[in-house]
Amino acid sequence: MWTTLSVFILCFFSPVCCVFQKLYCTLSDSCDCDFKPNIRDLEWDLYKNVYGQHLAQEIVSEEVARFLQEKNPERPLVLSFHGSSGTGKTLVSSMLGGHLYGSAMSSPYVHQFIPTLHFPLANRVDEYRTELKTWVQGNLTECARSVFIFDEMELMPPGVVDVLEPFLGPFHVVFSTNYRKAIYVFISTTGEEVINRVTLENRQAGRDREEIRLSELQDAIAQTVYNSSHSGFFQSSIIQQKLITAFVPFLPLTRLHVERCARSQLCQQGHCQRADVVEAVGGDMSYSPTQGRFFSTTGCKAVPAKINLFL
Ligand SMILES: Nc1ncnc2c1ncn2[C@@H]1O[C@H](COP(=O)(O)OP(=O)(O)O)[C@@H](O)[C@H]1O
Ligand SMILES: [Mg+2]
């Protein structure tokens, strides 16, 4: 504590502060790189602003709280989000990153990857692997509490993220850096069929949506991810070695949820009173299956476009 304080006092007066501080942080592993986690705010945000996703709310809140309680975690936190388009996966990953740092999602320690942008060519897997490894290593040396979000994993060429295997396990300090404080979030639509089927069967059986348990889905998602060549984890040792802390299912959204999305977005635009637009947006979405039309095929994704249409 006193050593940390004295480093910062010294840094304040010295022009060589940055170099000195970086060196100190690497060696002592005790600098917090603007890490100001606010679990209460994260939980509140999840419960208030994410609709119809009781499993994601529970798992993300619990796993993040448990992970951050440990001063020296045994392994990094690795979450894998699954579900159909527009169900809130990217939204929840932003909430997670947003409540960990002083500067929220604009923090230089929250890193987002999009395969079509960062890893577009399947024939350059070897290059991507080398780049990704060096880059993750560099960022973890800079800040052990870094967050890495890999969105749209179904478009990730197979083999790229496998290079992260040594970082995800309970391994000891490598190159003088503690890799076990990092948080990784992988996001994909892989597994949507099984998630949507279980949610439909649950509904047809007359049960509450909230009765669906993670245990009904976890193994099926893990298997699908491992066996699918479009999951980013095709036959990956990361899955084989069970390095994913938790698979997080996002359930298909109903008309009620879509209307909540519409209401919330209308309010943000200053049109809280427009129940007619909420109703029109809900009525204009496409729902599946043909019999029952329970679930929105695009989740809440098309809501802004529909609002513009009806407002
Ligand atoms: N469960 C949800 N609760 C609240 N808003 C949602 C939910 N799902 C999606 N949305 C809204 O719909 C839009 C698309 O959601 P997004 O998180 O990008 O979906 P995806 O699952 O495809 O990543 C965002 O504006 C988000 O705020
Ligand atoms: Mg998304």
CATH number at residue 135: 3.40.50.300
* CA of 86, nearest ligand number: 1
246 and 260 together in one domain:
no
Cis bond leading into 289, ω under 30°? yes
Question: 264 to each of 70, 117, 187, 290, how far by Cα in Å?
Answer: 36, 30, 24, 28
Ligand 2 centroid to Cα of residue 161, in Å, is: 18
Residues in the ligand 1 pocket, defined by CB under 6 Å: 50-53, 85-91, 253, 261, 299-301
Q: What is the pLDDT of residue 26?
A: 54
268 and 199 together in one domain:
no
The number of domains in the chain is 3
181 and 287 together in one domain:
no
Domain boundary among 200, 224, 250: 250
62 and 17 together in one domain:
no
pTM higher than 0.85: yes
Q: What is the pLDDT of residue 35?
A: 87
Pocket test for ligand 1, best of 49, 54, 91 (most atoms within 8 A of CB): 91
Ligand 1 centroid to Cα of residue 26, in Å, is: 38
Angle subtended by helix axes 255-268 and 275-284, to nearest 10: 140
Q: What is the pLDDT along the chain (311 residues), one digit of tens a residue?
A: 333 334 334 444 444 445 555 555 555 555 568 888 999 999 999 999 999 999 999 999 999 999 999 988 889 999 999 999 999 999 999 999 999 987 777 888 999 999 999 999 989 999 999 999 999 988 988 888 999 999 999 999 999 999 999 899 876 555 556 789 999 999 999 999 999 999 999 999 999 999 999 999 999 999 999 999 999 999 999 999 999 999 999 999 999 999 999 999 999 999 999 999 999 999 999 999 999 999 999 999 999 999 999 99
52 and 189 together in one domain:
yes
49 and 166 together in one domain:
yes
Tallying the residues shown for the chain, one arrives at 311
Q: What is the pLDDT of residue 23?
A: 58
Q: How would you classify residue 30: left for phi > 0, otherwise alpha for psi between -120 and 50, otherwise beta?
A: alpha
Residue 80's beta-bridge partner residues? Answer: 186, 247
Residues 238-274, buried b or exposed e (16+ Cβ, 10 A)? Answer: bbeeebbbbbbbbbbbbbebbbbbbbbbbeeeeeeeb
168 and 70 together in one domain:
yes
Domain boundary among 250, 274, 298: 250
Ligand 2 centroid to Cα of residue 296, in Å, is: 16
261 and 192 together in one domain:
no
Which own/partner contact pairs does 238-243 have at CB distance under 8 Å and 24+ positions apart?
Answer: 238/161, 238/162, 238/164, 238/165, 238/168, 241/165, 241/169, 243/75, 243/78, 243/165, 243/168, 243/169
Q: What is the pLDDT of residue 12?
A: 42
217 and 155 together in one domain:
yes
26 and 169 together in one domain:
no
184 and 265 together in one domain:
no
Angle subtended by helix axes 89-98 and 39-49, to nearest 10: 160
Q: Which range of residues forms the domain containing residue 27?
A: 1-31
Domain boundary among 232, 250, 268: 250
138 and 158 together in one domain:
yes
